[in-house]
Amino acid sequence: MKKLLFSMILSFGLISLAFAQDKVISGKVTSSTAGPLPGVSVYVKGAAANGTQTDATGAYKLSVPNDARTLVFTFIGFKTKEIAISGANISTNLEEENTTLSDVVVVGYGTQNRRDVTGSIAKITSADFKDRPIATIESALQGKAPGVFINSSSGKLGQALQIRVRGISSISASNQPLFVIDGVPIVSDALGTYTEADNPLAAISPDDIESMEVLKDAASAAIYGARGSNGVVLITTKKGKQGRTNIDFGYYAGFSDPTRKGEFLNATQYKQLMEESFKNIDYDGYANSSELWADYTGTNDWDGTADANWVDASFRRGHVQQYNININGGDAKTRFLISGNYSNNDGIIVSNRYVRTGGRMSLDHTVSKFLDIGGAINISKVDNYRIPTDNAFSNPLQLNALPPIQPIYDASGELNNNTVYYNSLIDIANGSNLSTTYRTFANAYASLKITSDLVFRSEYGFDFNNLEEEQYLGSKTQDGGSTSGYGNDYNAKSINFNTNNTLNYTKVFNEKHNLNLLGGFTFQDTKFRYGTVTGTGFPSDRFVKIASAATISSGSSFETEYSFVSYLARVNYKYDDKYLVSASVRTDGSSRFGANNRYGTFPAASLGWIATNEDFLKKSTWVSLLKVRASYGLTGNAEIGNFASRTLYGGVNYAGTAGTLPNQLGDPNLTWENTSNFNIGLDFGFLSDRITGTIEAYKKKTTDLLLNVPIAATNGFTSITQNIGDMQNKGLEFSLNTRNFVGEFKWTTSFNIAFNRNKILRLVDGQPIFTGGRFLGRIAEGEPFGYFYGKAYAGVDPSNGDAIYYLDASRTATTNNYNTAQNQKIGDPNAKYYGGFGNRFSYKNFDLDIQTQFVQGNDIYNMAGGFQSANGDYFDNQTIDQLNYWTTSNRITTIPQPRFDSANGTRPSSRYIQDGSYLRIKSVVFGYNLPKEFINKYKLQNVRIYASAQNLFTITGYNGYDPEVNTPAGSSLQTNNIQIGHDFYTPPQARTITFGVNIGL
């Protein structure tokens, strides 16, 4: 009996085991346009770890448990498909996904389907800048986002970009957009001491970015309230994805050259021009040119044989290389991502080098069906081997001012230290200039599903930025020679904490009413501190730390802090998938503003109508989308100093006794600048979205501009910061995307163009703001921002070679007296329109991507022209066009007669203002994906090799180094804002050629 019972139990166990065994399902995955699809992920729903991928023919084979009910098929660029398991063979056809209009976009504190968006949002994804050796994440937006103007400003590595979203909105506050990474507003202000600000965002690897959305109008940006007037850039980083563990490795290397070099005189040409210049002033009382030269310069180079190329001495061939690795995967409960990157860029300017090392980790975990938690941390280190500010003789680009008749090296083989102007190569050989940045971004979240419709989410973010600038100038240098060495250490820290707490309610009523409600509270606290110390007198140039200095010659420290507390709410309502309504409001409180105006409220509302869901268009075969939207709202700009509203006192040394002294007069009524923003847009799609695009028109009016208002000096102060002034921007944007061919040969095109017109409406008592000197930018009522104001150059008097100027704005009479000529409007640095044009081609395993950008109608003032294109006015080497100077046999010319040290036409005027329009081939990428049947032998998922070119060539009429330029005017934010479109010995962009490989395991 016991044996029989044991036999029955064993039999039932074997039967149960048989029923529990897996079954094998096979099939093929295809597409109506692309045929068999290799690399499609196939897995059991709810158990992503149990999965596989299709091979080169689109075939797959997968063992699944007997109780498995559904298979899931996913592939990038195609809609995810779920199929019930009903047999041993399951084949399917995936539908291509239109990512242009139906994809998900990130909005403030959430996401939305693009079809439901009623605001103005531009989006780019990692695919838009894949395989491009971009240095910083912002440059990926250049030419891609309609209405977003990005100027790289300089070819210096690590320098901040100038970004303007729908024009300039402030005179004295920042015009840069707010950057938000994974929900955390980050500090994008430069921490360093250089006039050309360092770029805090350069610490982020572009390979870590999933997407970037630019919020352009009030409907989208008002949810960020007092910091939304300049637009908001939402950056979403990559996260782990459910499925098999993927390892992606990328490497590229290449070289860089200047996009352009200046054409300057050689020794023979230089002596010809200067001889003429000396002769025309009768050698200034000297017997000949040799005597004049020797007395002025203290050298005998005039009679030497040197023919130095100082232009080439400032440049070199640059080299760039980058490694990155990404490991991600997970199952339905836990998803992870680990990445690392290393980038080394030796720039085109001698001694300029930029090295970035970083790592990132992201983890998302589903605790239960009610609770999700997760977070990410990004750590990076940047070493920026800097070069001095543009307006400094130690700037390598100013080497082109040195005469070619003076050699680079002296007779002993040492760098020549006996030149007209300083030979900055001595600083490079006998000094160091390193800025090191340590940056950490971290965020954590918890998402609690209170009910199926109600979700509470709490986020905490941390942004820590530590910058150290170390400069040492040895005993052979100009600044260090008189003190036996000079050293300076500057340390700055920015510590930013942020928390967001939101409650989100989503409900669909009667299948037609779709409602989403959001309410929240945020808090941000940011501290900034720095300390600096200077030492002189070092034992030798081998001792470069301040500890070795004989004298601590100066030192200083500083600390500041600001905070924001905010309350926000938003409602999105959609009826019958046709009618859209959205409204938001945010109340911001800031420590930056006066006690009487501590809080401000910023509402916005928008409407949308999806006409293609109406009965009269539903069955249309050629219109796939037609959506009209309009919005209006208020945003603010709070990017000013932390204590502008307060009367401040500072320490003072009076005859060795410490004391206090008032140094700023405050206004308790000070508040943020306010911008009202109206936007109307049309989104369209034709022929099953083969043609898609957007047309938008907007009008922005900024009031309560923060300006320094002149006051009577009876209380010891001559000005006070107050809210007085108005400005307006209005414009039109157009974008178009087409899928020209969709078969085996694919061709897509993207085009965008933006027009913006700026006007100053009101200033303090109508008084213009004008720096003067060599700067020509000016602010005046009724005029565009920063227009050029000065003397209008009329050319050369053919009778005597004098430079002549228009007497007044009527331009009917001229004068050769510079001081008699009236100042007038002589140019506009604001572009009439700008945009980008791109084409992408693919055939089988080959692809080619070409992206261009263009700017039209802006003027550039070449400030250096008064020195380097100055018809022999002083000893500076001259551009080669100056040989066409006036003589009795060459009377018809725009270049005056050379007259040494006589300022004949060389002072600031429209002579040095030129059209800055350009068309630039920004990037070209040619790639090849190795066949699946080949790489499968080596257990690889994908292998891609490519060649890439950045800034391949530029079409422009500007004869300076680069039309994409903006030399900072100084340390004042207001001055830098106003003096746009200036060029002063600013390095050009680099033309970079790279070759790379991406490998997926």
Is residue 694 pLDDT above 50, yes or no?
A: yes
d(CA 588, CA 379): 30
Q: Which amino acid is at 627?
A: K
pLDDT at 655 over 90: no
Q: Is 741 helix (H, G, I), strand (E, B) or coil?
A: strand
CA distance 274 to 301: 13
Decide: helix, strand or coil at residue 151: strand
Rounded to 5 degrees, what angle do the CA atoms 403, 407, 409 make? 140
- The pTM of the full predicted model, rounded to 2 decimals, is 0.87
DSSP letter for 282, please.
G
**Which residues make Cβ contacts (< 8 Å) with residue 337, sequence separation at least 6?**
238, 239, 240, 326, 327, 328, 360, 361, 362, 363, 376
Task: Return the H-helix or E-strand segment holding 959.
Answer: none
Residue 602 in contact with residue 228, Cβ under 8 Å? Answer: yes
Q: What angle do CA 849, 107, 105 make, to 5 degrees?
A: 35
> Nearest-CA neighbor of 465 among 125, 203, 137, 757?
203
What confidence score (pLDDT) does residue 438 get? 94
3-state secondary structure of 271: helix
- Residue 403 CA to residue 878 CA, distance in Å, equals 9
Determine the average pLDDT of the residues in 962-986. 86
% of residues, the chain, pLDDT over 90: 61
Q: What percent of the chain has pLDDT over 70?
A: 96
| Top-confidence range, 191-205, 619-633, 815-829 | 815-829
Do 459 and 183 meet the contact criterion of CB atoms below 8 Å apart? yes
Output the CA angle 104-106-108, nearest 5 degrees.
145
Greater confidence (932 vs 376) lies with: 376
Confidence of residue 77 (pLDDT cuts 50, 70, 90): low
pLDDT at 99: 45
pLDDT of amino acid 924: 94
Q: Which of residues 65 and 946 earns the better pLDDT score?
A: 946
DSSP 167-236: S---SSS--SPEEEETTEE---S--SS-SS-B-GGGGS-GGGEEEEEEE-SHHHHGGGGGG-TT-EEEEE
Residue 96's pLDDT band (cuts 50, 70, 90): low
Sign for the pseudo-dihedral over CA of 900, 903, 905, 909 = positive
Which residues is 361 bridged to in the sheet?
Answer: 338, 377
For residues 461 and 522, the answer to whether their CB atoms sit within 8 Å is no
Per-position b or e across 787-823, b if 16+ CB within 10 A of its CB: bbbbbbbbbbbeeebbbbbbbeeeeeebbbebeebeb
**SS3 state of residue 917:** coil
Mean pLDDT of 428-457: 93
Q: Among candidates 89, 104, 225, which has minimal Cα distance to 638?
A: 225
Mean pLDDT along residues 768-782: 90
Strands 23-31 and 92-94: parallel
Strands 803-806 and 110-113: unpaired
Q: What is the mean pLDDT of residues 967-986?
A: 84
Does residue 954 carry a pLDDT above 90? yes
Q: How far apart are CA 757 and CA 857, in angstroms?
A: 12
Radius of gyration (C-alpha) of the chain in whole angstroms: 32
Given the structure tokens 């105006």, which residue do they identify? 597
Tell me the DSSP string of 842-902: EETTEEEEEEEEEEES-EEEETTHHHHSSTTSSSS--BGGGGGB-BTTB-S-SBPPP-TTS
Q: Packing angle between helix 289-297 and helix 267-279, nearest 10 degrees?
A: 100
The answer to whether the CB of 112 falls within 8 A of the CB of 104 is: yes
Structure tokens at 139: 């440059």
- Given a cut of 50, is residue 811 above it in pLDDT? yes
Please report the pLDDT score of residue 436 as a whole number: 94
Neighbours of 418 (CB within 10 A): 12
User: Mind listing the pLDDT tens digit for each residue in 666-677?
Assistant: 788 888 889 999
Instruction: For 529-597, give the DSSP string.
Output: EEEEEEEE--SSTT--SGGG-SEEEEEEEEEEEEEEEEEEEEEEEEETTTEEEEEEEEEEEETTS-GGG
pLDDT value at 547 more than 80 = yes
pLDDT band at 47 (very low <50, low <70, confident <90, very high): confident
| Pairing between β-strand 454-473 and β-strand 486-509 as defined by DSSP bridges | antiparallel
Confidence of residue 16 (pLDDT cuts 50, 70, 90): very low
Candidate ranges 201-215, 523-537, 760-774; pick with highest mean pLDDT: 523-537
Let me know: does 28 contact 53? Beta carbons within 8 Å.
no
The residue length of the chain stands at 1001
Backbone angles phi, psi at 170, to 5 degrees: -145, 150
Q: Does pLDDT of 34 surpass 60? A: no
Confidence label for 691 from pLDDT (cuts 50, 70 and 90): very high
* For residue 545, pLDDT beyond 50: yes
Query: What pLDDT, on the 0 to 100 scale, is given for residue 97?
Result: 62
Each residue of 917-939: b (16+ CB within 10 Å) or e? bbbbbbbbbbbebbebeebeeee
pLDDT at 14 over 70: no
How many CB atoms lie under 10 A from the CB of residue 712? 7
Write the burial class of residue 131 (CB in 10 Å: 0-12 exposed, 13-18 middle, 19+ buried). Answer: buried
pLDDT one-digit tens code per residue, 875-904: 999 999 999 999 999 999 999 999 999 999
Asked if residue 536 lies in contact with residue 486, where contact means CB atoms within 8 angstroms, the answer is yes
Of 785 and 719, the structure prediction assigns the larger pLDDT to: 785
Q: Helix (H, G, I), strand (E, B), or coil: what is residue 95?
A: coil
User: Using an 8 Å Cβ cutoff, are 593 and 706 in contact?
Assistant: no
- For residue 13, pLDDT over 60 is answered with no
Give yes or no for residue 10 having a pLDDT over 70.
no
On the question of pLDDT at 69 being above 90, the answer is: no
**Mean pLDDT of the region 904-924:** 95
Q: Among all chains, which residue has been given the structure tokens 């001694």?
A: 351
Give the pLDDT mean for 10-26. Answer: 53
More confident residue, 156 or 34: 156
For residue 93, what pLDDT is reported?
85
pLDDT score of 941: 85
CA angle 558/561/566 to nearest 5° reads: 170
Please determine, for residue 722, whether its predicted confidence score (pLDDT) is greater than 90: no
Who contacts 863 (Cβ-Cβ below 8 Å, separation ≥6)? Answer: 774, 775, 908, 912, 967, 982, 983, 984
Summary mean pLDDT of the chain? 89
* CB atoms closer than 10 angstroms to residue 765: 8
How far is residue 58 CA from its own chain's centroid? Answer: 41
How do residues 828-847 score in pLDDT, each as one tens digit?
999 999 999 999 999 999 99
Tokens (6 digits) for 877: 């080497």
Q: What is the pLDDT of residue 512?
A: 86
